[in-house]
Amino acid sequence: MAGSRIATGGRIDRSVKLTLSFDGRKLSAHPGDTLASALMADGQLVVARGFKYHRPRGIYSAGVEEPNALVQLHTGAKSEPNARATTVEAIDGLSATGQNAWPNVRFDFGAMNQLFGPFLFAGFYYKTFIGPFRGTSFWMFCEKFIRKAAGMGRATKLADPDTYEKVNGFCDVLVIGGGPAGISAALAAGRSGAKVMLVEQDMALGGSLLSAPLVDQQEAWLEGALNELQNMNNVQILTRSTVFGAYDQDVYGVVERIGDHGQVPVLSGQRYWQIRTKQAVMATGAIERPLVFGGNDKPGVMLAGAARTYVNRYGVRPGRNIVVATNNDSAYSSALDLARAGAKVTLLDARLNVPDSLLKPLDAAGIKTFQGYGVIAAKGRKQVSAAIISATDENGVATGNAETVSCDIIAISGGWSPVVHLWSQRQQKPIYNESKACFIPEEGRLETMKCAGSAIAVGDLELTISQGFLQGTAAALDAGIKGEFGELPPSPTTPFADDWAREIHPVWLFTKANGKTHGKAFIDLQHDVLHTDIALAHREGYVSVEHLKRYTTTGMATDQGKLSNMNALAGMAELQKKTIPQVGTTTFRPPFTPVTIGAIVGHGHGRHFQPTRKSPIHDWHETNGAAMNEAGAWMRPRYYPIGKELLNDAYVREAAHVRKSVGMVDVSTLGKIAVQGPDASEFLNRIYVNGWKTLQVGRIRYGIMLREDGLVMDDGATARIAEFDYFMTTTTANAAKVLASCEHLLQTAWKDLRVHVTSITDQWAAIAVAGPNSRDLLIASIQDVDLSSEALPNNHFTHAKIDGIAVRIHRMSYSGELAFEVYIPSGFGKKVWESLIKFGEKFNVQPYGTEAMGALRIEKGHVAGPELDGRTTLNDFGMDRFASRKKPFIGSVLRNRSLLVDASRPTLVGLEFDGSSGTLPGALIFEASGPTVGHGEGWVSSTTYSPALGKNIALAFLKNGPARMGDTMRAVDFVGGTSLSAKIVSHHFFDPEGERQNA
Amino acid sequence: MLERHSALDACRIAGDFGVSDASQPALLLSERPLGNLLQIAGWADFEESCRPIVNDFGFQNFGDYRSVQGFDTAECFAIAPDKILIRHKDDEAYDRLCSTIDPYKLAIVDLSHARCVISIAGEASEALMARLAGIDISLAAFPVGDFVQTGIHHVGVLIKRDETNVFEIIIPFTWAASIWDYLCTCALGFGYRVEGDQK
């Protein structure tokens, strides 16, 4: 047992006891604890297993950088993998289990992997499993087992019971980080009157001060600053909130954890903020760097700053006998605080010249110090039992005799790495500061992002506070705020050994005298990347740091370079005999810490996955039992079953009824665009292939438009309502595309045209009334309007009233029957539909859905979405004659490209199938006898059973189609596994002369 | 005359929903009558051509692209440099304008059936709006009397602020039921009341 709760101290509420469990074992904790501090207080050293070798692992840090202590939280549907125990707040009843181990992390059969350790080098999987056999099937077979053996937690497949929400936030100054620098920056900006958001990932504000002993002066400063901030109405403070991404246009992604810590009431488990700010202050602090030596992954090896945090914040002493190894000043304060907490402490400093100001307090506390020393190896089977130490040279190579020092904790500090992730996410490269041995942001590079505190290695507490205040002031001024900033708040006395960058000696690896490590030395604890893996990558020719990262996997997963990056870069630089800046650094990308997918999704799942569009008549369809289906964003009636009727019976009945009597279909989904202005006819002339200048008011014309590349974009009918007013319809699917295209042309290429286009799809409901009795039905519904063929021939419209509602009746047919389209203001669409149903009773009118509508149009040979698929030309439909030769139009030049006018292109044909079966769209067409290879001679686009013909038919595109009329071909559906004979016929299956629609 | 059907008729169910520990729910959701909505558009001399029409409705000018020009019976929204919306209660206006405007200079579209209006009121209205649209909804940035054209759940809408805690959202008719459902889901955490028929 290493860790234990000390009797007093810490920032926990000892008056309240909480009970947690880990791997079924009960833990006691207090509010303010984390799962990690509770585990440490309970003396649990082994809390996880390594990714690859399954070596035992302990708690390594006290923050988001934790590489080892990843646990599975909760059970069942709320189960959450890969939670960092160091950031999981202790709440009563919290249950956690270890992961990547069987049966548990204390005894894991997976540890047998260590026997194969010499073979599990970087690139092992690919080198071993790809190549022995041809193809990838062997690798894919092995991959399943490899993924089981290595990995992290398991995500549940149960539906997530938690709720998440998205919120938009706006501010003048976003301060990222609630440490001393961030607090003073927020203070300055807040005083000026700027709208400030202060975001801190921890549960409490204070940053590094929370890891320091409770010193009155510092506490007073923190309390005073927070009181002032909390009393400012213009300052919003978000704790438990991580700025995980920095994006263009000063947008930041933040996840706020609301329900994760047991607070009630809760609106949702997590809240995803999209914050837009004028200025940001990045006060993200720094993360302590590990030192690399043999056995540096053993439970008991941890960061010195973390050890200090456990003592001062959580009242937990990590061990009784502690070796502190460092190359900088900061570990001295850790050593002192650990000694004050009752531990026996030995400090090794890689530097030879350490000032008395650091040594004397340690000496007074009984701490033995060694200068020019380092830890060569950690000893112990499941946990640290001793450190092998030695005098070392400036490169960390042992120069003296190794000594064994008994200990249960080795606390290490290899310097600190400023957290520059967000800076890097803004496409900026940090610069290397030689004297401080770290990458820092380049001041002034980003006009809207200031950096403060340890994020730019500014120095001690006093400097941090003053520099943060100045950056907050600058940010507010740059945001255009001209208020009063007040006096710089008096800083508390600078704590002992506070400036980690002072005289740091950038040694990162400690080896034996022969330059080799004493056993496995880990660069990346999370992905089990060894020091030797870096060397291997170097030997195999990886010269780019980005390639090194991907080859060795260092800096991946939740680590994202927080701990491993600098040591990997240093290793690579040394091997390449370059400096660290010459090697460069990798690019950090969002998220800074893992983000639950649910938080990004918010409410946008299930029925809110996308918005749904409903016709003005939708409620009638639902009430009357229509089987609905999605058509793009729309919900449309597919068919109206009678009794237990299924789709195939229903649509055949509906289509047959239209041919026999009369049916009604809701076509409100058609795109409708008002094209208005003195140049409207010229505009139509340019976007459609056919001419428009002669269309009279009161008439309708069918039109086809092409894309600029000459392929067909859409078709539809347009009515001339008034001299300068056209009512254009588009297909349902292409409505938005056509409108956007029109608007684009008017705003760019044709700014001289006086035309406006306006979507009026929502203004009008539309009902197609089709069938031999359609005219009679309408005559029964309206008063005093002549609908005879003479008064209202095809492609004409008239105005009428149905039950007092003004409507417009277009004489046009999609079904091939005598048909009319009735356009009604949306608010009356349902009522007019009901009226037509009522008036149609004596004609036995029946509603029909999209399936029957499709059957009717296929019988008629009309093209629709499946034919207008962006690959087809006018000629492919046999519509080339439709295009005007007298005028240019969009696509008129490029449609003549040789490829598009090739006579052998697949063209539209009809297929009639033998027997009772039909094929499905997407089937390929092959010769009746011959091989079934390649893409065949064409493809099937639309299929149906034709009640009018009593057989299965299809529309298809076939090479040399017109020349193959009467031939028999095969339609092969590779998905359904069918091959059917079909006769090639004209695509005008039914009433090719149009006698029925012209009746 | 037949009664006008709303896109929200089937989904707007009166009652109290969600969590609320207050006797008065934090949010009141209701549908408001749109009245009549006209879009008037023009070209180079738009303002000059359109001024007599807006004056007839009682407006001195179009306003800017954020401020609603309005009073009890009509509102004017400048939605583009050459385009305005007028929401009004004059049922004869559209026909009258169609017969009087100069079509060489102006184009008029009746959108009276093309939109639905949802009202969001209550102390949590600003918080709810922040969950719906990516716009700065704070009173300083979006004062009473302002409007904005933006998107809610990918659908283009026009939002206006009638009072500190009262917003109206003008939504395309065919999307309205889906947006109503979405905003009810977002409002659930605050607790909300759906008022009875207000149309």
Nearest residue on chain A to B189, judged by CA atoms? A267
Query: How distant is the alpha carbon of residue B18 from its chain centre?
Result: 25
Around A501, how many Cα atoms within 13 Å sit in the side-chain half-sphere?
Answer: 24
Of the candidates A395, A351, A603, the one whose C-alpha atom is nearest the C-alpha of residue A515 is: A395
B window 93-152, beta carbon within 8 A of A: 103-104, 107, 109-115, 130-131, 133-138, 140-141
**pLDDT for the residue numbered A825:** 98
**Yes or no, beta carbons of A760 and B141 under 8 Å apart:** no
| Interface contact B40, partner A, CB < 8 A | no
A623: nearest CA partner in chain B: B10
Buried b (16+ CB within 10 A) or exposed e, A665-693: bbbbbbbbbbbbbbbbbbbbbbbbbbbbe
Which residues of chain A are under the pLDDT cut of 50? 264-266
pLDDT tens profile A608-654: 999 999 999 999 999 999 999 999 999 999 999 999 999 999 999 99
H or E, element range at B77: strand B74-80
Give Cα separations from A387 to A274, A401, A406, A409 (angstroms).
48, 13, 6, 9
Which positions 443-482 of A are in contact with B (Cβ < 8 Å)? none
Integer Cα distance of A673 and B73 in angstroms: 29
Instruction: Check A827 against B113: CB less than 8 A apart.
Output: yes
8 Å CB contact of A805 and B2: yes
Give the distance from residue B172's alpha carbon to the nearest chain A alpha carbon, in angstroms: 6
Q: CB distance from A801 to chain B under 8 Å?
A: no
Output the pLDDT for position A262: 57
Tokens encoding A693:
């200048």
Alpha-carbon span A771 to A778, nearest angstrom: 11
Q: How many CA atoms lie within 13 A of B59 on its CB side?
A: 27
Residue B143 pLDDT: 97
How close is the nearest chain B Cα to the Cα of A230, in Å?
19
Q: What is the pLDDT of residue A264?
A: 46
DSSP label at A495? P
Residues of A in contact with B173 (CB under 8 A): 616, 762-763, 826-827
B interface mutation test: which of A195, A613, A617, A669 has the most B CBs within 10 A? A613
Quick one: what percent of chain B has pLDDT higher than 70? 96
The pLDDT assigned to A265 comes to 44
- Judged by a CB distance cut-off of 8 A, whether residue A118 touches chain B is no
Nearest CA distance, B107 vs chain A (angstrom): 6
Task: Check: CB of residue A392 under 8 Å from CB of residue A510.
Answer: yes
Rounded mean pLDDT of chain A? Answer: 94
Among the listed residues A947, A706, A629, A985, the one whose alpha carbon sits nearest the alpha carbon of residue A816: A947
E strands, A382-506, are 386-391, 403-406, 409-413, 416-418, 431-433, 438-440, 449-451
Q: Is B62 on the interface with A (CB under 8 A)?
A: no
Chain B residues with beta carbon closer than 8 angstroms to that of A607: 181
Q: How far apart are CA A506 and CA A434, in angstroms?
A: 9
- Cross-chain residue pair B174–A761, CB shorter than 8 Å: yes
Per-residue pLDDT, A489 = 79
Q: In what order do the strands lie in the sheet with A712-722?
A: A700-706, A712-722, A725-730, A671-676, A756-759
Tell me which H or E stretch contains A618.
Answer: helix A618-623
Whether A724 and chain B come into contact, CB under 8 Å, resolves to: yes
Residue in A with minimal Cα distance to B45: A754
A102 to A52, A98, A149, A636: CA distances (angstroms): 14, 9, 10, 52
For residues A797, A801, A806, A808, the Cα torsion angle rounded to the nearest 10 degrees is -10
Q: Assess B41–A contact: CB distance below 8 Å, yes or no.
A: yes
pLDDT tens-digit readout, B9-38: 999 999 999 876 667 889 999 999 999 999
What pTM did the predictor assign? Answer: 0.92
Residue A30's SS3 state is coil
Whole-angstrom Cα distance, residue A755 to residue A678? 7
For B136, the closest of A170, A725, A831 (CB atoms) is: A170
Q: Please indicate if any CB of chain B lies within 8 Å of the CB of A743.
A: no
Contact A614 B177 (CB under 8 A): yes
Of residues B62 and A291, more confidently modeled? A291
What pLDDT, on the 0 to 100 scale, is given for residue B47? 93
Task: State whether B135 and A168 contact (CB < 8 Å).
Answer: yes
Chosen from A667, A743, A754 to mutate, greatest number of chain B CBs within 10 A = A754
pLDDT at B1 over 70: no
Q: Cβ separation of A268 and B189 shorter than 8 Å? A: yes
Q: Report how many Cβ contacts below 8 Å link chain A to chain B.
A: 143
- Which residues does chain A have within 8 Å of residue B18's beta carbon, measured at their own beta carbons? none
- Start-to-end Cα distance in chain A: 96
A-interface mutation test, from B17, B113, B183, most A Cβ less than 10 A away: B113
Q: How far is B71 from chain A (nearest CA, A)?
A: 25
- Which A positions 611-640 lie with beta carbon below 8 A of chain B? 611-616, 618-619, 622, 634
Residues 6+ apart with CB under 8 A from A368: A345, A346, A347
- Of B4, B131, B173, Cβ closest to residue A167: B131
Q: Does B79 touch chain A (CB under 8 A)?
A: no
- Is residue A971 within 8 A of residue A923, CB to CB? The reply is yes
**Burial class (CB within 10 angstroms; exposed 0-12, middle 13-18, buried 19+) of A938:** buried
Please tell me the distance in Å from B92's CA to the nearest CA on chain A: 14
CB contact under 8 A, B131 and A722: no
> Nearest by CB to B173, which of A274, A725, A826?
A826
- Number of alpha carbons in the 13 Å side-chain half-sphere of residue A969: 31
Q: Mind telling me how many Å the CA of A685 is from chain B's nearest CA?
A: 19
Q: Among A267, A756, A804, whose Cβ lies nearest the Cβ of B1? A: A804
Q: CB distance B133–A168 less than 8 Å?
A: yes
